[in-house]
Structure formats: C-alpha cells, structure tokens
Chain A
Amino acid sequence: MAEVMVVTSGKGGVGKTTSTAALGAALAQTGQTVAVVDFDVGLRNLDLIMGAERRVVYDLINVANGEARLHQALIRDKRIETLYLLPASQTRDKDALTEEGVKRVIGELRERFDWIICDSPAGIERGATLAMKYADLAVVIANPEVSSVRDSDRIIGLLDAKTEKAESGQRMEKHLLLTRYDAARAGRGEMLSVEDVLEILSIPLLGIIPESEEVLRASNVGSPVTLNNAASAPARAYMDAARRLCGEDVAMSIPMHRKGFLDRLFGRRAA
C-alpha cells in the first residue's frame, strides 16, 4: 500500500530537500518504487539536488491543472530505476496550486508508487500546508538549534490540525529527523542534545544525521548523499532512517566519520 510522507520543518535551510533526496534514494534502493515530489513552487531545488535540473519538461502544477499527464512530468532517476522525481514549477507562484489539484495528483501517484515523498517549502503558508495536507505520515526535520526547534514545534501543531488525517479525527504519525548534529559539541554542552530536542518536541526519533562535509559534496554534483558516498556517516544515518521507516528495528546510533591518524594530525582536511 502506498505511503504518502511529507518532509517538513517550518524553518528553511535545515535539510528538507537534502533529506527528501537521501531518504527517497535509500528507499528506492531497496527495490520499492518511490516518487519524490517538490512542493516548493517558485523556488524549486529538489531537481538540482537530484541532478535532474536539465531534464524538467512538465511540473507538478502542469499535472495538477490538467495541462500535462503525470507520466509526462515524472522524471526517472538515471541511477536507480525505481526512483522518480515530480518537479515543482519555477515560473509560477504557490497560489497556482489548488487543494483539488494536489489531491488528484497524490491520488494518481498512490496508484503507481510504494512511497510518495513530499518535499515541503519552508514557512507555514499555502505551499507548506498543501504539502502536508494529504500525507499519511510526516518527517519533521530539525537542527539542534533554538529557532529550528521552535519552528518544528509549530509545524507539529499544524500537522495535528490542518492535515486531512487530523481533520478526520485520526492521529497523524510524526517522526523527528535531527540533522546537522555534532555529537562532540552536544557532549560539551555547546549544542542542544538529542535528549533535549526529544523532550521538547516529544515525537519519536527517526534518525540523527551528523553534520558532515559529505552533504555539500553530494549537492555539488547533484546526487543524493546516500548514493554519492554510501559509506559516509550521513549516508549511513539516512539509510538507517529509511530502514526504520520500513518498520525495521535498527539500533539508534550517530554514525561518525572515522578519524585516522593523519586526520587527527591535520584536523579535518584529509576527509
């Protein structure tokens, strides 16, 4: 049965698009069919992170408005054959999306895919509420930082009030993905710890993604971090999170970059 999952955060720049691409690729690698959908109309970026920016012809709004068929707009990933991208429009604004249009597109996607991952825009306006509206579960992305945690709390409130699931009296399933985590700084008391954030937001933890140079390296070349360097710490953390989404019981750990003798000697350069 298809699962519609929204990746949301309220605050911008915390890793929604990176996480959408990484989780999408990790789930698709298990053989399941996955569609990643960019809801950031006017500021699309998922195409760029997926390395498909030159292959966009039709977009979400074209399909929602009936100007194109779904199969015309879907872009198949060149690395994993079960992974598809539905890009956002770059030239329209968020008001071009309608509830009915989005509902119809999500309904069509449900028939074709095991996972539909909606990459929400930042903020709490139309684009963000439409991205979460028809979701079955939500991944809330937060950084261990005060403004991000506050905005995540706000988004959790919206997930419990403004989604179709919540409106019909059902409980919205929510998971926390803590990104850009630096275990050493948290250990020194310079950064909110995993426990701090969990206590404040009180939703179950899906994974902890360590702060890493690999994330920028992957986005530079347009490849989800889980594909670009599968052995890297963030990739392993995303793959663990994807396995948890599939119901596997995976012990929670914070994958770290293993420092060799030279790394220690010369700092972080030798990564």
Chain B
Amino acid sequence: MNIFSMFSRRTSAPVARERLQILLAHERGGTTCNADLIALLQKEVLAAIAKHIDVDPDKVQIKMERRDEVSLLEIDVEIPTPSPKGGKPQDKTAPEIRTTSRVASQRAGRAA
C-alpha cells in the first residue's frame, strides 16, 4: 500500500478471482458424470411417478447444485389436480409437489 494506490482505481485481480470462483462452482456441477446422472435421475423419477399419476414429462425438473459441504438435489414435479367434474385435466391452478433432498458432497475427487 503506498500513497499512489489511494488515487488508483480498484484492482482487477480480486474481480477475476471472484468471477472464476462463481463460474467454476457452476461448471464443476454440470460436467461429465453429473450431467449423465441428472438425465438418468430425471428418466427414472419420471418412470416411477408415471406408474401412479399421469404427468407431463416437461413438468419434471431436476437440478443439482454443488456447494462446499453438501450438494443439493432438487426435484420439481408438477402434478395436475383432477378437476371435480372430471372435465379439464389441464387445470391452471395445479399444485406443485416439491421434493428437496440432500446428497453427500462429491467434491472429494477434486481434493489434491
């Protein structure tokens, strides 16, 4: 720290570091085996639900978020409410079943 730094603008390296940390946290979660795992989970969860309820495949969403300690597996399934008169299956006020489960962190592989 010197007298000139008081007049200079904010340094750029901390910005670079922060941008990289955020970006890589996302990219590490979405690459290779994880992408395959999510596709597989989506297919199997959908098959399990479809046995009992008629769901639109597009209304099932699976996300995986990686954090330091744990990863978050989020499964959103939109199930249409059967209308009382049995008329309209595509009710706009369909409730949403939201399941959130925690799975163990998969960071172990990156520890050097």
Contacts and interface: CB of A to CB of B under 8 A. Distances in A.
Interface string A175-196: 0000000000010111111001
Contact of B12 (A150, A189, A193): A189
Contact of A153 (B12, B24, B32, B112): B24
B17 A192 contact: yes
Interface string B1-35: 00000000001111011011101100110011100
A74 interface: no
A157 B35 CA distance: 13
Given A146-B19, A203-B112, A153 B14 contact: no
B85 interface: no
Nearest to B8: A188
A192 B27 contact: no
B64 to A, nearest CB: 15
Interface residues of B, number: 20
Nearest to A149: B20
Interface of B is mostly: helix
B86 interface: no
A31 interface: no
A200 B31 contact: no
Interface in A118-168: 145-146, 149-150, 153-154, 156-158, 160-161
A interface residue count range (under 10 / 10 to 19 / 20 to 34 / 35 or more): 20 to 34
Contacts of A189: 11-14
Nearest to A153: B24
B48 interface: no
25 contacts: A145-B16, A146-B16, A146-B19, A146-B20, A149-B20, A150-B20, A150-B23, A153-B24, A157-B28, A157-B31, A158-B32, A161-B33, A188-B11, A189-B11, A189-B13, A189-B14, A190-B13, A191-B13, A192-B13, A193-B13, A196-B17, A200-B20, A200-B21, A202-B112, A203-B112
Interface of A: 145-146, 149-150, 153-154, 156-158, 160-161, 174, 186, 188-193, 196, 200, 202-204
Given A145-B16, A158-B32, A190-B13, 10 more contacts: A146-B20, A149-B20, A150-B27, A189-B12, A192-B13, A192-B16, A193-B13, A200-B20, A200-B24, A204-B112
